[in-house]
Amino acid sequence: MAKCVTLVLIFNLMAAVNGIGGSTDMGLLFVFGDSYADTGNHNKNDPHLARPWRAPYGETWPGEPAGRFSDGSVLTDFIAQYLNISSPLPYSEWTGNLNVNFSGINFAFGGSGVFDTFGSEFPNITVQIDQLNKILTSNDTWWKGRLANSSVLFVCSGNDYIALLNKTGGDKKLPFFIPSVVNQIVTDLSRLYDIGMRRFLVATLEPAGCLPSLTRSSNFSRCNQTYNVWSSFHNRLLVSELKTLQNRAGSQVKILDQFNSFQTVLSTASKHGFSENPLQPCCLAKIGATCGDIDSAGKALYTVCSSPERAFFWDGAHPTLAGWSAVCEQYKQVIAT
């Protein structure tokens, strides 16, 4: 049974990457955000950025590391499938070739946020939009008229908050920082509207307190409700502030409710084929290490479960291919309407 489930998930990922299936033609797709959406923008030759290019990432699909923070697909791949297009080209692979198979560009970069997070090598979303602008101005004629029929996938999964916590060593400033992050998200989206975009798919914050990096202290037995409350606060503000963008002429804003989608799948894990403890990641690193790390002798500082299709989380923060499949299944209707 597990092998059958794995084959189905791999077929779904192949469909997402190659544009098979789907029910809605939404033109090109432009992606901005972080590791939940990044499909290969990290530099595989930079040891500080090469994690998604190292084993065991990509072991379910395509069978080797592919620059995604998962064992297979990520959010972008499934959204592209639902839009009936191939997964957009990572910005790192952009050459200016606008061939017949061109479906958009993915600027998302794992570790990024709306503000600076972990260093200059992590382009914040303002910089990502600058990258788009540079491309658009290089060939105004080709792009003219195409942007309004294209879609924006905007994913901000909490790196700004992690960076703040790392900097301050505590969470007292977090509630006061959340409005600043939300305001910058809306500012970035408004800038994309001014560039010519009209269709927006905006992801809310996942239940951060359920990420394995925060549930490890309880042996992955329960979510940290304090962080979930803050995630909910972020999301309430975001949905409220997005009304301004929704009210602009021709704008279509659709919410991808990551918080409730994650919660729904986690609370009905067995229904979706996951193990009895869905908070435990498949790739479990030793304390102080991350999935994919090795020691000086080349020995892995992590273990990988035998059945990734039975795990919702892949590592300390990211879903597996199976996890993303279950979450994104709930977005089909949102995108189709």
231 is catalytic: no
For residue 213, give the nearest of 311, 313, 85, 305 by alpha carbon: 313
How many residues are given for the chain?
A: 337
| CA dihedral over 279, 234, 318, 80, signed as positive or negative | positive
Q: Side chain identity at 103, as an amino acid letter? A: S
Catalytic residue (one of 42, 234, 272, 318):
318
User: Could you give the 3-state DSSP secondary structure of residue 31?
Assistant: strand
Catalytic residue (one of 71, 73, 315, 325) = 315
- Do 268 and 30 form a contact (C-beta atoms < 8 A)? no
Answer yes or no: are the C-beta atoms of 251 and 196 closer than 8 Å.
no
Distances from the Cα of 243 to the Cαs of 126, 248, 255, in angstroms? Answer: 21, 9, 11
Residues 6+ apart with CB under 8 A from 252: 198, 199, 200, 246
Active-site residue 71, yes or no?
Answer: no
CA distances for 79 relative to 135, 325, 328, angstroms: 23, 10, 8
**9-44 per-residue burial string, b: 16 or more CB within 10 A, e: under 16:** bbebbebbbebeebeeebbbbbbbbbbbbbbbbbee
Q: Quick check: is 272 catalytic?
A: no
Which is catalytic among the residues 35, 70, 150, 325?
35
**Vertex 122, ends 170 and 87: CA angle to 5°?**
120
Catalytically active residues are 35, 315, 318
